[in-house]
């Protein structure tokens, strides 16, 4: 008999024990996620033994939920994945939840970035999610730029002394069509950046024009989201701002929409970097 329950905030180790021993870096990110007010962990047990679990984020901006992670013993995945998801995901539309998002990647790309900053589920989750009514919404992208070999740029943009979180939130919302992506994982990235004080905002002409979430990560920077106002900044200006303010070491963009490809290509050309590009699939279930 499967039994699923929600983990309390002080049960971090129960989640961490589901897979291989975590690194200090992984513990740091998981702890930050657990401390968000809208994060939830569920654990599934059989006869008292933990066999898997899910991590959920409630998105108050889009009025939605995101499935951020799924853990399940390999030998049980084919027969048990559907039960795992049904026990932790909403079934019915409410005033505060209208849909559920999940991003699925190929198994050779997942795991490059610690949970929850990759936002990506392994491929074994896909059949069960589709059986539950999830459908493809769009593709998302990620890119790893291995290093800055030659970029020497000067940007007119100066980083705000204090991040303008309200302005950044409005910018990300208003530019979702320009970005080519609107999903709950973006708002998790926003909340993580705010909680960890890793967001940078920039103003020009008295208006917020650029917001970047950038974690110091393995000698470089991990960028889970950025949003810019195209009426103020060109793609070249956005790229120059990135390379002036976050130029050391690798740049890892974990969640990109198709509208951001031009900026990323300019960054890649300016820094003459080796790169790894990977594609992911955003699945969505309307409630």
Domain boundaries 165-279, CATH class? alpha beta
- Quote the CA–CA distance of 185 and 103 in Å, as a whole number: 8
User: Under DSSP, is residue 135 helix (H, G, I), strand (E, B) or coil?
Assistant: strand
pLDDT of residue 111: 53
pLDDT of residue 125: 97
Q: Write out pLDDT tens, residues 254-285.
A: 999 999 999 999 999 888 878 889 999 999 99
132 vs 219, more confident: 132
C-alpha closest to that of 43 among 69, 75, 64, 78: 69
C-alpha closest to that of 213 among 224, 227, 229, 228: 224
- Quote the CA–CA distance of 216 and 91 in Å, as a whole number: 38
Report whether pLDDT(26) > 90.
no
Q: What is the per-residue burial (b if ≥16 Cβ within 10 Å, else e) of 57-95?
A: bbbeebebbbbbbbbbeeebbeebbebbbeebbbeeeee
Same fold, 2-139 and 165-279: yes
The average pLDDT across 28-40 equals 94
The average pLDDT across 53-71 equals 96
- Quote the CA–CA distance of 60 and 58 in Å, as a whole number: 6
Q: Write out pLDDT tens, residues 135-147.
A: 999 999 999 998 7
pLDDT of residue 246: 85
Query: In the predicted model, what is the mean pLDDT of the chain?
Result: 92
Q: Where are the domains of the chain?
A: 2-139, 165-279
The average pLDDT across 94-117 equals 83
pLDDT of residue 150: 55
pLDDT of residue 273: 79
2-139 CATH: 3.40.630.30
Work out the percent of the chain whose per-residue pLDDT is above 70. Answer: 97
Q: Write out pLDDT tens, residues 178-210.
A: 999 999 999 999 999 999 999 999 999 899 999
pLDDT tier at 109 (50, 70, 90 boundaries)?
A: low
pLDDT of residue 29: 92
Q: What residues contact 20, with CB distance under 8 A and at least 6 apart?
A: none
């Amino acid at each position: 008999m499967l039994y699923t329950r929600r983990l309390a905030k002080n049960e971090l180790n129960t989640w961490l024990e589901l897979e291989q021993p975590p690194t200090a870096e992984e513990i740091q990110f998981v702890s930050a996620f657990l401390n968000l007010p809208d994060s939830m962990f569920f654990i599934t047990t059989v006869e008292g033994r933990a066999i898997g679990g899910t991590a959920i984020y409630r998105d108050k901006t889009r009025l939605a939920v995101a499935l951020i992670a799924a853990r399940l013993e390999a030998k049980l995945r084919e027969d048990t994945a559907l039960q795992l998801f049904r026990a932790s995901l909403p079934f019915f539309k409410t005033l505060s939840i209208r849909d559920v998002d999940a991003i699925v990647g190929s198994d050779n790309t997942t795991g490059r970035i610690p949970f929850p900053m990759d936002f990506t589920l392994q491929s074994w989750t896909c059949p069960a999610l589709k059986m539950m009514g999830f459908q493809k919404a769009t593709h998302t992208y990620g890119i790893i730029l291995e290093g800055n070999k030659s970029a020497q740029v000067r940007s007119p943009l100066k980083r705000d002394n204090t991040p303008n979180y309200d302005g950044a939130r409005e910018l990300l919302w208003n530019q979702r069509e320009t970005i080519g992506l609107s999903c709950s994982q973006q708002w998790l990235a926003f909340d993580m950046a705010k909680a960890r004080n890793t967001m940078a905002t920039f103003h020009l002409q008295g208006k917020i024009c650029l917001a970047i979430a950038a974690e110091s990560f393995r000698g470089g920077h991990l960028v889970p989201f950025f949003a810019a106002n195209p009426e103020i900044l060109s793609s070249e200006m956005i790229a120059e701002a990135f390379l002036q303010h976050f130029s050391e070491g690798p740049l890892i963009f974990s969640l990109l929409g198709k509208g951001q490809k031009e900026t990323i290509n300019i960054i890649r050309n300016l820094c003459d970097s080796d790169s790894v590009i990977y594609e992911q699939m955003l699945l969505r279930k309307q409630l």
